[in-house]
Chain A
């Protein structure tokens, strides 16, 4: 099995010699290959998805029937907080980043991300921050303040345990990893596109990741500031969020949602990107309205910064502010609607094959439309006053986060699994799983709209019997079993397929974009020859050269005069060397997190020393790597 095999390397300089493992655990700790890191991201995010699901399952068990006391309020609060934090920061967002890590370079015809070691650092910081957060369960209790941790619930007097510190520090540190990854993606997309790949030929998934990366860069600083203020409050006794000292706790909500709303798009835009790849492939048609799709994605990302107060309609901002933020929120419905219509138009007139990824894409279209509709309803402040902080909101954001992002990432998993492993997930099992996952999802979350409208606030550990909530909650809980069974089937069929699946071949789906032009799994240098690009769907056009005769076949961005040459003189390929330092530096942040948590100066200095030394050594360990000479394989359209 050659999934993510590390290349053999030669030559190094520096303090620690550059490692050259090709297999084994050390090769994974030191890897800088975007594909291996992508796999690490995906595996980690699915593990965290499992943790988050267990927490959700416990929540649903507790709420299955009214007036139950299976789980105490304290533990219940920890469950929904960790569920939210895990799903948003440790599962769904890294899932998008994981697919991006693996496929952005492949889709733009690059050999790696621009900064391979920084990429490794980003991953290890995220993984270790997640690990740090989860150790809270054994070190005095997990955070229990909800995933948006509203002040003054987080102040030392209201929350003396260290759960809140775990939350603040974990988000602060994992934010560093997310930021460097975002910058890495931006530099990569701007600089490392294959010859001929102009911006209007970049696949939509890459476009959406580019927008997402910019959102990360602009959205995380306000969060960082807010986190820092609370850490200062709790560590040094400052008074940013201490109402007894006259603080206005509403400030936290502004700072958090200036980050938090773009965060929603950081999660959903990669999902849009995936859908925009899956639908054209399985419809055998180019994406309908490509420029509009790109622009609407940019517009959504931009507007994401202008709507944060719609999470705060009930905080008493006054009618003028509520009107303004209602209107900007409505405006986001327009590009989103355009996207949905364009996806359907892509299917229209095509020859649509409903393989498993396409099934999920279709489920996404309907589920996301429903989530978007309740989104517009929530943007109506007077109605929001009723359903804000009720189960209606819970249903809404699970429709967009679960039905939108998660379903589309399942589509991506089935779609790209053959490329990543060289094998297919069995189609039959995939279909069975689909028919458990999607109906199970609806059974969980559809009744929650009505639970909210009948008056169930969110984050309640229990509820009264006989006030109309019993049936809805029982349905929700029943749904978790169906949904859970489906997700387990997805997981097991994927694990089984890694070794036993049918051999996929390079291009099992009749793909259109560059990742299908290399082998499955791709060699560590991605492409034998860096491809030249002459259209938005270069692989598709190469497979069907007869389409050049048809005027409808090629996009206005295509350049039929400039077809790729038959054979290119191959230069040797530079393979970046592995390195210990990204992992060690990330380990330093991990140790430093505990130093900050326990106010331990010695440990803090030790952690700083680790970070400082590893960064220094990182900078001076030299170019490393080696050159490989590759003979282009015959028929490997490269």
Chain B
């Protein structure tokens, strides 16, 4: 419909300017600039109710302002005069019963339409990407049941595909929320919730847990990375061939030693007790209830999207997790005065960064900041 198209083009910028007078409306988590069909329908509904609200406000505040100015006692003169003692008016009451009824109907019709367009449970079809999401205090487990991939805190999907999420929680309530792609859906133990969404363009989209889960709730973030089909296939391949890559990291020679040291420390310090790294025959499988670190070198972030993933940040995180993300469950492995701490944490970081990385460096400043290509 041309009207709808026109509304979509004109209403948001005009409305946002009106509301904010040019304040910040965009950001990597801003719902005001949706980048997927579900989020766009939700924002359209907001803009529609927003314009109706403006009409209501003009009416109410306008009449009120007029009453304040015209009927104030200074203006009406004689301070002892008694105004007409009007008790009511049936026609007026009927009028302002009908006005809100009409407004409510105007809101209700597109609302019901959008509910059934975005919230109905869907069954997977050809081309959909299916991910089982489990919320933990305070990170996210992403499992691709069809591909046998398990990863944490960064969800990859190919552009143009519909992403179907089966949401569950391992402990308390969490809520899966990527504002630019779709509104949230709660993750509740013993309840199978589903959320589906799609993205217009490749990019990196910020997510956050939206239900209080105590402790490090403020740091329970994640990323949805929408890849081109090519990149996505490469990512999937990297997981399916995890072993071969990791055993022969294509790194400069001076790092190889550090990486070997890191791998040894990873086992020695007990990291493998919890964290799974697939592809190492010598490593036991970690606990499935802790973040799987397979192909960690492909991650953009550390600690559930708290820090950008580079050697320095990663070492900082391994060295003292509580300083980076207060309240989380990762143990601190070195005493504060341990002289070996810096070197050892750095070695483990080097090892983890080597996982899955065949010398590729996909992380540019732009997409670590939130994907300028996804911000439209």
Chain A residues with a Cβ under 8 A of chain B: 69, 72-74, 77, 144-146, 150, 152-153, 158-159, 243, 246-250, 283-286, 288-292, 314-316, 318-319, 322-323, 326-327, 330-331, 333-334, 336-338, 340-342, 344-345, 347-354, 362, 365-366, 369-370, 373, 376-377, 380-390, 450, 453-464, 467-469, 471-472, 544, 547, 550, 552-556
Contact = CB atoms under 8 A, between A and B. Distances in A.
Contacts of A291: 88
Nearest to B50: A377
A147 B210 CA distance: 16
Contacts of B97: 334, 338
A552 B86 contact: yes
B83 A455 contact: no
B335 interface: no
Contacts of A385: 42, 118-119, 182-185
Interface stretch (B60-68, B141-149, B243-251, B337-345): B60-68
Contact of B71 (A243, A323, A350, A471): A350
A376 B215 CA distance: 33
A160 to B, nearest CB: 12
A73 B97 CA distance: 47
B60 A344 contact: yes
Does more than half of chain B's interface fall in helix, strand or loop, or is it mixed? mixed
Contacts of B57: 369-370, 373
7 contacts: A314-B183, A348-B71, A377-B53, A384-B183, A450-B23, A450-B25, A552-B85
Given A348-B71, A366-B64, A454-B25, A286 B46 contact: no
B88 A289 contact: yes
Contacts of B284: none
Contacts of B83: 283-285, 349-351
B104 A330 contact: yes
A238 B206 CA distance: 40
Interface in B189-216: 189-191, 193-194, 206, 208-216
A353 B209 CA distance: 50
A158 B213 CA distance: 10
Q: Which of B118, B119, B206, B217 has the most CB of A within 10 A?
A: B119
A419 B307 CA distance: 60
Size class of the contact patch on chain B:
35 or more
Q: Which of A69, A338, A460 has the most CB of B within 10 A?
A: A460
Contacts of B25: 450, 453-454, 468
B56 interface: yes
A450 B73 contact: no
B115 A376 contact: no
Top 6 closest A-B pairs, CB basis?
A385-B183, A455-B29, A468-B27, A243-B189, A337-B100, A460-B218
Contacts of A556: 87
Given A290-B87, A338-B93, A388-B210, A352 B67 contact: yes
B31 A315 contact: no
A390 B111 CA distance: 20
Interface of B: 19-20, 23-32, 39, 41-43, 45-46, 49-50, 53, 56-57, 60-61, 63-64, 67-68, 71-73, 76, 79, 81-89, 92-93, 96-97, 99-101, 103-104, 107-108, 111-112, 114-116, 118-121, 167, 171-173, 175, 177, 179, 182-186, 188-191, 193-194, 206, 208-218, 221, 326-327, 370
B177 A377 contact: no
Contacts of B213: 153
Contact of B73 (A285, A353, A388): A353
Nearest to A389: B210
A77 B93 contact: no
Contacts of A158: 171-172, 214
A442 B83 CA distance: 34
A382 B119 contact: yes
A574 B42 CA distance: 64
A513 B31 CA distance: 50
Nearest to A243: B189
A337 to B, nearest CB: 4
Contact of B217 (A345, A461, A464, A550): A461
B164 to A, nearest CB: 14
A365 B183 CA distance: 31
Contacts of A316: 167, 185-186, 188, 191, 193-194
B85 A390 contact: no
Given A73-B327, A326-B108, A455 B82 contact: no
Contacts of B172: 150, 152-153, 158
A268 B68 CA distance: 24
A347 B67 contact: yes
Contacts of A285: 83-86
A213 B30 CA distance: 42
Nearest to A468: B27
Contacts of A145: 212, 214
A454 B87 contact: no
Given A283-B83, A323-B112, 12 more contacts: A77-B212, A286-B85, A288-B86, A288-B87, A333-B104, A341-B92, A348-B63, A352-B71, A373-B53, A385-B185, A457-B177, A457-B210
Contacts of A144: 214
A442 B194 CA distance: 38
Contacts of B104: 330-331, 333-334, 376
B31 A455 contact: yes
Nearest to A370: B57
A336 B71 CA distance: 24
A383 B119 contact: no
Given A152-B172, A288-B86, A323-B115, A69 B93 contact: no
Contact of A150 (B96, B182, B211): B211
Contacts of A342: 93, 96
A289 B88 CA distance: 4
Given A290-B88, A347-B68, A455-B206, A152 B189 contact: yes
